[in-house]
């Protein structure tokens, strides 16, 4: 089997297994919205309708695999705001940050709102979430997600992420940045949302600006999560490496209880800061979901 | 809300209510509100009421979030009744209530949204576009999982 992401064959372990997994569709994962229903009640409701749910983790009781459920949006429980179809790795991003109650969080690239809503749940609808997205036409879907899921502690803004005003600081910053979306690619689809080489350089430029602004928006003891759904080190470790060079930043460990690989410290002819081993890479043959990269960042003390 | 549905005022003590020309918005009160006041904000919290002509209507999402605290003004309906309402029909009811909004919930007491009671009949105020017919076909003990 050749062709699929061959350029990463030296950094992705068990590469042939990785390529095989890409032949299968991404399974359906659901997040149960604890703001509106207790997980056990929802599981019981859906089991009565013949929907099989398999818990994704013993640690978290809101994350489930729903094998064979083709259209979760067709469930009444979706309309009621009890469930949110969300890639497991997307849900893990909010868990990696675990914002505490009564804190202040900025979601820099928030649309369509799944992570903002998850953070609201983790914060128990306390504190404040600023859900930011540049494109005002995406504010409709963003607002809809937040209201459907009963989020009561969020406001929506429309700044360019890299130009977000510096007047205030945040306890938490979530930067799930625009990327080439390689992690979403599965060969079963005729088209894919992942971007080929064209335009990637522009992405790196943008990602660098966003991570620097995100870091500058942190409170003294604040934490940022930088995340992408791509495998490309030039959008992942390279960006975090730049931040480590240009700011007094520290990479914090991520402990979420799922199978991941550490961040890499070398790619082609480039070497990255050794602290990047604290970043995490999710691959579909290890955790069957969208491929993801995450780095949890704090200010160096 | 207290008079009609028995939802106590005290439930909203921790919230701020903002108003625009046509609607009211609820946002959790907290020490960080000042942060938002420095920003250009396009949406705030949850839209709770909207002006419809000369009336003020609670929104579906507001009722779904707080309707579970209602002690009166509620009606449980089954899927057949829901289908009738969504098709624009009315269902006759025997409720000791003045004409006005009624909270509709499923037989499992899950809050759907609002109906409007007028002269002993309920009409839907639910967002038709959001409740797909596929949702109503899924009842208890019916297998809906696709077979691969």
Asked if the model's pLDDT at residue B140 lies above 50, the reply is no
User: pLDDT-based confidence at B143, cuts 50/70/90?
Assistant: very low
Q: Which of A34, A234, A190, A250 is nearest to A121 (CA)?
A: A34
Q: Which residue in chain B is spatially nearest to A126 when comparing CA positions? A: B28
The domains of chain A are located at 88-299
From the list A180, A226, A240, the residue with the least C-alpha distance to A7 is A180
Q: What is the pLDDT of residue A179?
A: 95
Angle, vertex CA A200, rays to CA A145 and CA A234, nearest 5: 95
B13/A contact by beta carbon, under 8 A: no
Chain B residues with CB-CB distance to A104 below 8 A: 32, 35
Interface residue of B29, B50, B64 to substitute, partner A, most A CBs within 10 Å: B64
Query: Over the stretch A97-156, which tens digit does the pLDDT of each residue have?
Result: 999 999 999 999 999 999 999 999 999 999 999 999 999 999 999 999 999 999 999 999
pLDDT in tens, B73-112: 999 999 899 999 998 999 999 888 899 999 999 998 999 9
**Amino acid B142: pLDDT:** 40
Question: What's the CATH fold of domain B2-133?
Answer: Nuclear Transport Factor 2; Chain: A, (3.10.450)
Give residue for tokens 């909270």: B103
| Mean of all residue pLDDT scores within chain B | 88
**pTM of this structure:** 0.93
Percentage of residues of chain B with pLDDT beyond 70: 92
- Which pLDDT band holds residue B138 (cuts at 50, 70, 90)? low
Q: Provide the strand spans (E) within A125-186.
A: 128-132, 154-157, 170-176
Confidence of residue A33 (pLDDT cuts 50, 70, 90): very high
In degrees, rounded to 5, the angle at the alpha carbon of residue A227 between the alpha carbons of residues A223 and A231 is 145
> Which residues of chain B neighbour A45 with C-beta distances below 8 Å?
108, 110
- Residues B41-65: what's their mean pLDDT? 93
A85, A105, A80: which is closest to A94 by C-alpha?
A105
Phi-psi region of B19 (alpha: psi -120 to 50; beta: other; left: phi over 0): beta
For B64-80, what is the mean pLDDT? 94
Pairing state between β B100-105 and B111-118: antiparallel
Q: How far apart are CA A177 and CA A251, in angstroms?
A: 18
CB burial readout A217-226, b (16+ within 10 A) else e: bbeeebbbbb
CA angle A51, A53, A56 (to 5 degrees): 160
Identify from A70, A74, A166 which residue to disrupt to test chain B contact, counting B C-beta atoms within 10 A and taking the largest count.
A74
For residue A125, the chain B residues in CB contact (below 8 A) are 28
What end-to-end distance do the CA atoms of chain B give, in Å?
48
The 10s digit of each residue's pLDDT in A168-185 is 999 999 999 999 999 999
The reply to whether residue B138 touches residue A157, judged by beta carbons under 8 angstroms, is: no
Instruction: Give residue A130's pLDDT.
Output: 98
Interface predicted TM-score (ipTM)? 0.90
Pick from B88, B92, B116, B118: nearest CA to B104: B116
- Architecture, CATH, for domain A88-299: 3-Layer(aba) Sandwich (3.40)
Mean pLDDT, range B130-138, rounded to an integer: 75
Alpha-carbon A155 to chain mean position: 20
DSSP run (H or E) holding A63: strand A63-65
Show the DSSP H helices in chain A as ranges. Answer: 15-21, 39-48, 76-79, 88-97, 114-122, 139-148, 200-216, 237-246
Taking the C-alpha atoms of residue B102 and residue B114, their distance in angstroms, rounded to an integer, is 6
> How many Å from the N-terminal Cα to the C-terminal Cα in chain A?
48
Per-residue pLDDT, averaged over A11-30, amounts to: 95
Q: Is B10 on the interface with A (CB under 8 A)?
A: no
**CA atoms in the 13 A half-sphere facing the CB of B17:** 10
Question: Where are the domains positioned within chain B?
Answer: 2-133
pLDDT digits (tens, 9 = 90+) for A199-251: 677 899 999 999 999 999 999 999 999 999 999 999 999 999 999 999 999 99
Interfacial B residues in 76-135 facing A (CB < 8 Å): 106, 108, 110-112, 130-132, 134-135
CB-based contact, A75 to chain B, within 8 Å: yes
CA torsion sign, A233 to A99 to B33 to A166?
negative
Cis peptide before A157 (omega within 30 of 0): no
């Amino acid at each position: 089997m050749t062709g699929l992401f061959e350029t990463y064959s030296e950094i992705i372990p068990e590469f042939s297994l990785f390529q095989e997994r890409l032949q299968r569709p991404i399974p359906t994962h659901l997040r149960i919205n604890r703001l509106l229903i207790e997980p056990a009640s929802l599981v019981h409701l859906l089991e009565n309708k013949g929907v099989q749910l398999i818990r994704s983790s013993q640690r978290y009781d809101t994350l489930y695999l729903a094998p064979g459920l083709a259209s979760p949006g067709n469930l009444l429980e979706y309309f009621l705001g009890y469930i949110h179809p969300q890639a497991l790795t997307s849900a893990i991003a909010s868990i990696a940050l675990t914002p505490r109650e009564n804190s202040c969080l900025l979601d820099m690239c928030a649309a369509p709102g799944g992570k903002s809503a998850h953070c609201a749940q983790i914060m128990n609808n306390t504190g404040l979430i600023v859900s930011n997205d540049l494109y005002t036409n995406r504010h409709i879907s963003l607002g809809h997600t937040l209201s459907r899921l009963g989020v009561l502690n969020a406001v929506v803004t429309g700044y360019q992420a890299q130009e977000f005003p510096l007047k205030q600081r945040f306890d938490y910053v979530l930067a799930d940045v625009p990327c080439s979306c390689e992690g979403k690619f599965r060969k079963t689809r005729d088209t894919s949302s992942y971007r080929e080489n064209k335009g990637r350089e522009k992405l790196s430029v943008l990602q660098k600006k966003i991570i620097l602004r995100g870091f500058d928006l942190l409170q003294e003891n604040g934490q940022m999560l930088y995340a992408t759904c791509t495998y490309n080190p030039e959008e992942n470790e390279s960006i975090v490496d730049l931040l480590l060079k240009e700011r007094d930043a520290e990479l914090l460990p991520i402990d979420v209880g799922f199978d991941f690989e550490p961040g890499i410290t070398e790619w082609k002819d480039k070497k990255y800061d050794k602290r990047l081993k604290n970043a995490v890479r999710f691959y579909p043959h290890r955790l069957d979901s969208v491929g993801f990269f995450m780095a949890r960042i704090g200010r160096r003390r | 809300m207290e008079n009609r549905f028995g939802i106590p005022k005290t439930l909203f003590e921790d919230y701020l209510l903002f108003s625009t020309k046509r609607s009211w918005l609820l946002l959790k009160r907290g020490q960080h509100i000042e942060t938002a006041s420095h920003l250009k904000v396009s949406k705030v919290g949850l839209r709770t009421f909207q002006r419809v002509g000369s009336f003020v209507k609670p929104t579906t999402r507001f009722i779904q979030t707080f309707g579970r605290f209602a002690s009166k003004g509620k009606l449980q309906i089954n899927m057949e009744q829901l289908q009738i309402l969504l098709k624009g029909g009315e269902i006759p009811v025997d409720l000791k209530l003045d004409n006005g909004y009624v909270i509709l919930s499923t037989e499992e007491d899950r809050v759907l949204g609002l109906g409007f009671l007028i002269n002993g009949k309920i009409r839907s105020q639910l967002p038709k576009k959001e409740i797909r017919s596929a949702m109503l076909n899924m009842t208890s003990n019916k297998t809906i999982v696709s077979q691969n």
